[in-house]
Chain A
Amino acid sequence: MNETTEAARLLAGPALALANAVSAGKVSARSVTEAALARIAQVDPVLNAFTDVTSARARAEAAAIDARRAAGAVLGPLAGVPFAVKNLFDLEGLSTRAGSRINRDRPPAPRDATLVERLTAAGAVCLGGLNMGEYAYDFTGENLHDGNSRNPHDTGHMSGGSSGGSGSAVGGKLVPLSLGSDTNGSIRVPSSFCGIFGLKPTYGRLSRARSFPFVASLDHLGPFARHVADLAATYDALLGPDPDDAALADKPAAPTLPGLEEPGHLRVAVLGGWFARSGTPQAYEAVARAARALDATTVVELPEVERARASAYLITMAEGAALHRDRLRERPGEFDPAVRERLLAGAVLPAAWIARAQNFRRWFRDRAVELFAEWDVLIAPATPVPAPRSGQATFVLDGREMLVRPNIGIYTQPISFIGLPVVAAPIATDNPLPIAVQLIAAPWQEAAALRAARVLERAGIAVAPEPVV
């Protein structure tokens, strides 16, 4: 097998196997990078996952890795692995557009986002910026300015959002790893629709420095991958203190890869109540399959989930409106109207509502922590449906016709509201369109959610399906 063919084969497989091959000198980082660039050139015109392909940067980074290896240096754990990031992450030399038209006027970023720097330090190679819903206020992956990112399992369907390009690029095997953000579900929804693994860590766990914000109270950043060990290794590489993010918690880094294959005894239950209503049969088939494999026979309830979702909805509207207030005044015509109309409504919400929502948030967090005294992992659907058709405006849940956009996140929004760590794990069903479950753990227990995901992966139940592109 020649180097080009071997690089393409490795690119399509696990990231850690690729990194091992690069570290062992079986393939060069340069060849892998060229394979990824070729795959992007071939497939991205269909998926529209990328908004910026940083080919010169990627070639320079790959050459530096190969030079270090030639000099006898030990390479990082993600040596030569191509990755790309939602275009709200700063990439040096690019304007951070955050899915918008307005932000293209910003000066080029002088420095990478912290999480990009960490992946680069681990040896990964940055291939560019990825499509996203405008200012991350989105669950669909549709973008008025850059076009929609498309589902790699049926390009007539949504990728999910707002990290649509991040889901599409990994689901379509353009890159093995990507980064995204999740305020109300924007990592978990594209993971579900694109059939990949995504990790939304605990709120305050990973640095958000030099990423464009949306809702400071609820914003999280995290990785996507096609394999659980890749997800864990990427997350581990992202850990660490950072004085540039005021919301970062003072917690010791707790790497997850070393214990991934030793699940021990995980106490797993299924979330009922709100999470057992409104979903399609496929969503509940996925939950049932995961529950069987994890010996989860008990159904438990979080109280007042509907109020939790409502609180997240209000905080999102208000903080989002506050962030964009000046742009709403000065450049109203340059927003996607679907985003602007919600921000305008958020601009007039009484402050007392938001204060009450933040008080309720602590109450709801305390109820969740009580539940986690008995359980390590809770299973819930990630989305009520597999990916709707692109442009689809309504769907029927529980016999009621509802708008697609705000209701895709009915199961994700109450969980991110209190910052719990979640792995979205794609569960094989008979439908060619994938769907995921949420594996939810107690605060700071990302390792438990990842170990549960690995149990499902080993059992052949959680798997990233092959794309059709």
Chain B
Amino acid sequence: MSRQDDTGAGGGGADSGAGALLDAGLAIEGLPLEPELRPRVVMHLATAIAMARLVTSFALPDDAEPAPVYVP
């Protein structure tokens, strides 16, 4: 059995920079976070980073359109 994993997507790992991204982003946004909750938020962000690696590593053509299309 592997380590507990939030996603099945492979984890972000300690080198993902999740903590630094979180601290910078929350400071810019002015969002409060208690120290005791921080490890949980970092865990979720590390999961998102792993997810983003999956998404951004997929090659799409430059003219790929986003799903939502604005209709004036």
Residues of A within 8 A of B (CB): 217, 278, 304, 306-307, 310-311, 313-314, 317, 325, 328-329, 332, 337, 340-342, 344-350, 352-353, 355-363, 365, 394, 396-397, 399-403, 406-407, 410, 418
Do the beta carbons of A217 and B44 come within 8 Å of each other? Answer: no
Do A341 and B31 form a contact, CB below 8 Å, given A353-B56, A394-B4? Answer: no
Cβ-neighbour of A347 out of B5, B31, B60, B67 (below 8 A):
B31
* 6 pairs, CB–CB < 8 Å, chain A vs chain B: A310-B55, A317-B44, A332-B33, A401-B2, A403-B4, A406-B7
Do the beta carbons of A304 and B58 come within 8 Å of each other? Answer: yes
Bound together, the chains give a CA A418 to CA B52 distance in angstroms of 18
Residues of B within 8 A of A (CB): 1-9, 21-22, 24-26, 29-33, 37, 40-42, 44-45, 47-48, 50-52, 54-56, 58, 60, 64-68
Give chain A nearest CB distance to B72 CB in angstroms.
Answer: 12
Chain A residues with CB under 8 Å of B3's CB are 401
Do the beta carbons of A341 and B44 come within 8 Å of each other? Answer: yes
Cβ-neighbour of B26 out of A347, A406, A410 (below 8 A):
A347
Do the beta carbons of A359 and B60 come within 8 Å of each other? Answer: yes
Cβ-neighbour of A400 out of B1, B33, B54 (below 8 A):
B1
Bound together, the chains give a CA A42 to CA B54 distance in angstroms of 49
- Quick one: closest A residue to B66, CB to CB? A358
Chain B residues with CB under 8 Å of A363's CB are 60, 64
Bound together, the chains give a CA A311 to CA B9 distance in angstroms of 12
Do A401 and B1 form a contact, CB below 8 Å, given A359-B66, A406-B6? Answer: yes
Chain A residues with CB under 8 Å of B48's CB are 313-314, 317, 345-346, 349, 353
- Quick one: closest A residue to B58, CB to CB? A307
4 more A-B contacts (CB under 8 A) besides A329-B32, A344-B31, A407-B7? A317-B44, A332-B33, A345-B42, A400-B1
Chain A residues with CB under 8 Å of B52's CB are 310, 314, 349-350, 353
Do A355 and B66 form a contact, CB below 8 Å, given A348-B26, A349-B48, A349-B52? Answer: yes
Chain A residues with CB under 8 Å of B67's CB are 217, 358-359, 361-362, 365, 418
Question: Which 3 A-B residue pairs are closest in the complex by CB-CB distance?
Answer: A348-B25, A310-B51, A361-B67
Chain B residues with CB under 8 Å of A342's CB are 44
- Quick one: closest A residue to B34, CB to CB? A332
Chain B residues with CB under 8 Å of A345's CB are 22, 41-42, 44-45, 47-48
Do the beta carbons of A329 and B30 come within 8 Å of each other? Answer: yes
Bound together, the chains give a CA A347 to CA B47 distance in angstroms of 14
Cβ-neighbour of A402 out of B4, B33, B51, B56 (below 8 A):
B4
Do the beta carbons of B25 and A360 come within 8 Å of each other? Answer: no
Chain B residues with CB under 8 Å of A418's CB are 67
Most chain A beta carbons < 10 A, residue from B25, B48, B50 = B48
Most chain A beta carbons < 10 A, residue from B32, B44, B55 = B55
Chain B residues with CB under 8 Å of A396's CB are 1
Do the beta carbons of A341 and B40 come within 8 Å of each other? Answer: yes
Do the beta carbons of A347 and B6 come within 8 Å of each other? Answer: no
Do A348 and B4 form a contact, CB below 8 Å, given A304-B58, A360-B58, A361-B67? Answer: no
Give chain B nearest CB distance to A303 CB in angstroms.
Answer: 10
Do A401 and B4 form a contact, CB below 8 Å, given A314-B48, A363-B64? Answer: yes
- Quick one: closest B residue to A359, CB to CB? B64
Give chain A nearest CB distance to B26 CB in angstroms.
Answer: 6
Most chain A beta carbons < 10 A, residue from B8, B9, B65 = B8
Give chain A nearest CB distance to B50 CB in angstroms.
Answer: 8
Do the beta carbons of A341 and B37 come within 8 Å of each other? Answer: yes
- Quick one: closest A residue to B21, CB to CB? A348
Chain B residues with CB under 8 Å of A362's CB are 64-67
Do the beta carbons of B66 and A402 come within 8 Å of each other? Answer: no
Bound together, the chains give a CA A441 to CA B19 distance in angstroms of 42
Bound together, the chains give a CA A159 to CA B51 distance in angstroms of 28
Chain A residues with CB under 8 Å of B32's CB are 329, 332
Chain A residues with CB under 8 Å of B60's CB are 356, 359-360, 363
